[in-house]
Amino acid sequence: MISLPGTRALRTLVSAGRHLNFTRAADELNLTPAAVSYQIKEIEERLGIRLFVRSSRSIHLTAEGEVLCEAAAEALDIVNRAVARARKLSRSVTTQLKVTVDPHFATKWLMRRVDTFRKLQPGIELRFEVSYEVREFDLDDIDVAIRFGSGKYPGLIANRLFDNVVVPVCSPRLLKSGRPLSEPRDLLHHTLAHIEWSRQGVTWPNWAMWMAAAGIHDYDDGRTVVFATSSDAVESALSGETVALADFAMIANDLSEGRLVRPFELSIRAPAEFAYFLVYPKGSASDPRIIAFRDWLLEAAAAESAPATA
């Protein structure tokens, strides 16, 4: 019987085969290039097969190496999915619920309210993975996810959390020390911030849209700062440097606690096609842990009173 390489060696093989570069594979695996080279050589000697052709400038897979790399990737994928399912099965007989959520939603909304859930459901232990990366339920060790998107996820149930409304906000310090903000046109004398985001032909509200809603048609974006993420735009407002457009639900606490204020009541509705959703597999719909978390989350989201829009 052939002595097959272990999973660690297979991961090294797959990484080296994907990058065709031992140094990049080493960086990915937190190894040294010498360790990667040694593991590949060990696999070749154990199987009696040459997997890579090495030259002074490059490496490439042999035909045998391509076959084995493809099979190793498939095998590791199967094992990883099985481990994720096994961990979920283990948690299903316990009280643990693992939630993946992006950092902005976690810090600006969820973590401020999660103690309420813990008091209502002391028998459920929440575990969080905070990351902008989208996790796969059949591959990663998660039970539910909070995602920003269209809510159209095959094989998954998606519960919409908010109707997003975008409002102008700034620090109280800016109102005290900066130029007056008596009417919307006064904003033209301030640095304005928003995010630049579009998907599937839909654009997230920006200052040009808000100004149009306010009846200002000679708006010049020369004093506008564009950010890639909402959290960066909000931070610029909190610092007192800008007036930012922000999602009301995400800054409701900053408003209620006085860190931000709304200089004007005018708000505009964000595209209905995109929102935050609670997402979980259809096969988990009857899981009492998920039901409890879903019901609490939807109730908490509904309690957020969004302002009227233009």
Q: What is the pLDDT of residue 213?
A: 94
**293 and 148 co-located in one domain:** yes
CA distance 164 to 306: 8
**112 and 18 co-located in one domain:** no
Examine the fold and report which residue of 83, 107, 122 is the final residue of a domain before the chain moves on.
Answer: 83
Q: What is the pLDDT of residue 182?
A: 93
Radius of gyration of the chain (CA): 26
Q: 114-143: per-residue pLDDT in tens?
A: 999 999 999 899 999 998 888 888 778 889
Q: Is the pLDDT of residue 263 over 80?
A: yes
**145 and 279 co-located in one domain:** yes
pTM assigned to the model: 0.67
Q: Is the pLDDT of residue 300 over 60?
A: yes
Report which of 127, 137, 131, 124 is spatially closest to residue 99, judged by C-alpha positions. Answer: 127
**294 and 151 co-located in one domain:** yes
Q: Is the pLDDT of residue 12 over 70?
A: yes
Examine the fold and report which residue of 83, 118, 150 is the final residue of a domain before the chain moves on.
Answer: 83
**72 and 148 co-located in one domain:** no
CATH number of the domain residue 239 falls in = 3.40.190.10
CATH number of the domain residue 63 falls in = 1.10.10.10
**24 and 73 co-located in one domain:** yes
Say if 106 falls within a structural domain: yes
When pLDDT is averaged across residues 38-47 and rounded to a whole number, the result is 89
Say if 2 falls within a structural domain: no
When pLDDT is averaged across residues 258-268 and rounded to a whole number, the result is 94
CA distance 242 to 244: 6
Say if 307 falls within a structural domain: no
When pLDDT is averaged across residues 11-34 and rounded to a whole number, the result is 90
Q: 157-192: per-residue pLDDT in tens?
A: 999 998 889 999 999 999 888 788 999 999 999 999
**98 and 172 co-located in one domain:** no
CA distance 39 to 150: 44
Say if 29 falls within a structural domain: yes
Q: How many domains does the chain have?
A: 3
Q: Is the pLDDT of residue 306 over 90?
A: no
Residue predicted with more confidence, 307 or 254? 254
**66 and 152 co-located in one domain:** no
Q: Is the pLDDT of residue 278 over 80?
A: yes
Examine the fold and report which residue of 49, 83, 117 is the final residue of a domain before the chain moves on.
Answer: 83
Say if 89 falls within a structural domain: no
Q: What is the pLDDT of residue 2?
A: 63
In order of 110, 165, 258, 261, the CA distances from 252 in angstroms are 12, 11, 10, 10
Q: What is the pLDDT of residue 90?
A: 66
Say if 262 falls within a structural domain: yes
Q: What is the pLDDT of residue 216?
A: 94
Say if 310 falls within a structural domain: no
CA distance 14 to 273: 38
Looking up tokens 């985001």 gives: 197
**265 and 285 co-located in one domain:** no
Residue 194 in tokens: 């928003």
Say if 309 falls within a structural domain: no
**263 and 237 co-located in one domain:** yes
When pLDDT is averaged across residues 280-294 and rounded to a whole number, the result is 92
Q: Is the pLDDT of residue 144 over 90?
A: yes
Q: 193-239: per-residue pLDDT in tens?
A: 999 888 777 889 999 999 999 999 999 888 899 998 888 999 999 99
Looking up tokens 């094992």 gives: 79
**140 and 182 co-located in one domain:** no
Q: 84-103: per-residue pLDDT in tens?
A: 777 766 665 558 899 999 99
**69 and 209 co-located in one domain:** no
CA distance 243 to 224: 10
CA distance 171 to 181: 12
Question: Could you tell me the residue range of the domain that residue 277 belongs to?
Answer: 94-163+273-302
